Amino acid sequence: MTKPNHQSGRAGRVRESALPTLEDVARSAGVSTATVSRCLNSPDLVVEQTRTKVLEAVQALGYAPNFGARALAAKRSNTVGAIIPTMENAIFARGLQAFQEELDTHGVTLLVASSSYRPAAEATQVRTLTARGADGLLLIGHDRLTEVYEFLDRRAMPYVIAWAHDPGSPRASVGFDNFAAMKELATAVLDLGHTRIGLISAPTETNDRARRRLEGVRSAMLDRGLDPQALRLIETPYAYDTGARAFASLMQADDRPSVVLCGNDVLAVGALRQAHKMGLRVPQDVSITGFDDIEIAQVVTPSLTTVHVPHREMGRQAALALVGLINAETTPTSVALGTDIRWRDTLAAPGGAAPAGESQDKETLNVRH
């Protein structure tokens, strides 16, 4: 090129609110762009004097580096993405928070997206976050379109699966055993003497966590000599009102269950609320259990017996695993976390006898019947 852009470029369009660039800073500080770049990325490679000069220019111009350009040139974004099923309720909030906090410690930023429990939406989000330069991804559970796994593998994109730890799965993950956790609770329920069992679950079709929990219940029944087919099952999306509806439908049957297990706390609280509306006493008339132990479980009345999941620890471990993967210091390895049952007030033997070691929470205020 001879002298084509003589008058063009910067000078020409300075008026349309040009954002300061590295070059502007360099010019203003009387150094090269390389030096400015160094000041920002490896401050120790440049002498004190020039550094201050440059930083002043940065301040003065209100310069902020362009992320896209940076990622483009450095082939690294210090960003990871998390794709969770939903932000609407608190199920993933605590774990994600811990994930984020640990990430901060390592200087990496978190981008979150939600799939609304739709596999196709998740696939889109995976591509979106990848194109956005995510260095790694946090995924929830094992179930997803195979094209997603193919995509991930082809791009050699580091990822960790959380909220599930399935001994039978080939993919590494950090989480807990949904099957075992639910089976333990179901077994405790059966040992209390319940025989008519209801289960309100999330749709199991594309959700391995929900499916494994369901299998846990069935397995417990089998072990105790009950017919797994006798389980009264309703699958419905996670929400308060769907939980309430499912519960109502379960309790309208001729032979009502004496206990309704719920796939998570949100469903359980919905069920609890519905029981209240129907004038059913919990746990005297019917027991209800949840899963997750989110904050609301302790806030409702009566307080909810549920499976406690170590969300914070899980988030932290997931972050550690992902960062290790990204820095190639590590290979995919699973970490299994434990869960435990939190005995509170919504579970009792059929007929209402309280289980041993009962809650300290004051009952009452439940309305007058």
Using the minimum distance from each CB to a second copy, give the nearer residue, 214 or 314: 314
CB of 63 to DNA, least distance (A): 7
Q: What are phi and psi of 82, to 5 degrees?
A: -130, 130
Q: Determine the interface stretch with a second copy among 161-169, 211-219, 279-287, 314-322 (rule: CB under 8 A).
A: 279-287
DSSP string, 41-101: H-GGGS-HHHHHHHHHHHHHHT----HHHHHHHHS--SEEEEEES-SSSTTTHHHHHHHHH
Length of the chain: 369
Which of a second copy, DNA, none sits in contact with 222, Cβ below 5 to 8 A by type?
none
Which of a second copy, DNA, none sits in contact with 121, Cβ below 5 to 8 A by type?
none
Q: Which two tokens mark 84?
A: 């969770």
CA distances from 230 to 187, 193, 218, 256, 362 (A): 15, 15, 9, 12, 35
Enumerate the β-bridge partners of residue 84: 114
Task: Say if residue 131 is exposed, middle or buried (CB neighbours under 10 Å; 0-12, 13-18, 19+).
Answer: exposed
Q: Is residue 21 a contact point for a second copy (CB under 8 A)? A: no
Q: Is residue 364 a contact point for a second copy (CB under 8 A)? A: yes
Using the minimum distance from each CB to a second copy, give the nearer residue, 190 or 322: 322
Residue ranges that bind DNA, judged by CB under 7 A: 1, 4-5, 8-10, 18-19, 21-23, 30-35, 37-38, 40-41, 45-47, 49-51, 63-66, 69-70, 72-76
Choosing from 21, 106, 123, 132, the residue that interacts with a second copy (CB under 8 A) is: 132
Going along 218-357, which residue ranges are E strands? Answer: 232-235, 259-262, 287-289, 306-308, 335-337, 340-342
Q: Is residue 81 a contact point for a second copy (CB under 8 A)? A: no
Q: Is residue 156 a contact point for a second copy (CB under 8 A)? A: yes
- Tell whether omega for the bond before 158 is within 30 degrees of 0, i.e. cis: no
The answer to whether 278 and 250 are in contact (CB under 8 A) is no
Choosing from 279, 329, 331, 356, the residue that interacts with a second copy (CB under 8 A) is: 279
Which of DNA, a second copy, none sits in contact with 277, Cβ below 5 to 8 A by type?
a second copy
**CA 97 – CA 316 distance, rounded (Å):** 9
Q: Is residue 249 a contact point for a second copy (CB under 8 A)? A: no
**CA 265 – CA 242 distance, rounded (Å):** 12
Site for a second copy in 86-125 (CB under 8 A): 87-90, 93-94, 96-97, 109, 111-112
Q: What is the three-class DSSP state of 176?
A: strand
Residues that bind a second copy (CB under 8 A): 16-17, 19, 62, 64-72, 77, 87-90, 93-94, 96-97, 109, 111-112, 127-128, 130-133, 150-151, 154-156, 240, 248, 251-252, 269-270, 273, 276-282, 295-296, 298-302, 361-367, 369
